[in-house]
Amino acid sequence: MKTTHPEPGSPALLQHLRERGRRRENRIADRITRFAGSMKFVYIHVIWFSLWIGLGVEDYPFGLLTMIVSLEAIFLSTFVMISENRADEKRHVIADEAWRTVQDESDQNERLLRLSQEILELTQEIHAASASATPASRPRAQ
């Protein structure tokens, strides 16, 4: 059963994932990290250790098994660090996108405030012009 992750909604994150997926080592690291973080990985190890010990592949203190597991732990810790780096890259992409959004909203707010000020000034000029007009020059309501 293959676990798929939904595509991100953010165009910036989607672009980041596409760029990351272009490199083969990134794709391999992602697959290994995804597998190592699954219950299937745990079940395989439980079965493997049980068979190793139960079938007496080697005598206690299981030096070869210990060495194999230690090497596996070294590589898995490296893949965890790779995964953390990937997560950190995603956080940077999200933060940059959020910053751009905030800047865009700030610019829009400033434009809206200027437009509102201009509308207020024009409205005040219209009221001032209509107040200064003589009653004879005003159009009559019908």
CB-CB contact of 76 with 36 (8 Å): yes
Determine, yes or no, domain membership for 18. yes
Identify the pLDDT of residue 9: 67
In a domain, 136, yes or no: no
Q: Which of 38, 18, 25 is nearest to 90 (CA)?
A: 18
The span from the CA of 9 to the CA of 139, in Å, is: 58
Domains of the chain: total: 1
The separation between the first and the last C-alpha atoms of the chain, rounded to the nearest angstrom, is 80
Peptide bond into 8 cis (omega under 30): no
> Over 70: is that where the pLDDT of 83 sits?
yes
Whether 113 is covered by a domain: the verdict is yes
Alpha-helix residue ranges (DSSP H) falling in the chain? 11-21, 24-36, 39-54, 63-132
pLDDT at residue 14, as a whole number: 75
Amino acid identity for residue 123 in this structure: T
Domain membership of residue 119 as a residue range: 11-128
Q: Does residue 54 lie in a domain region? A: yes
Question: Is 4 inside a domain boundary?
Answer: no
> Residues 27-77: pLDDT tens digits?
888 888 889 989 999 999 999 999 999 999 999 999 999 999 999 999 999
Would you place residue 13 in the very low, low, confident or very high pLDDT band (cuts 50, 70, 90)? confident
Spatial CB neighbours of 121, under 8 Å, sequence gap ≥ 6: none
Angle at 40 between CA 39 and CA 43, to 5 degrees: 85
Question: Would you say residue 141 lies in a domain?
Answer: no
137 in a structural domain = no
Has residue 2 been placed in a domain?
Answer: no
Q: What does the DSSP assignment read for 15-53? A: HHHHHHHTSHHHHHHHHHHHHHTSHHHHHHHHHHHHHHH
Q: Are the CB atoms for 79 and 73 separated by under 8 Å? A: no
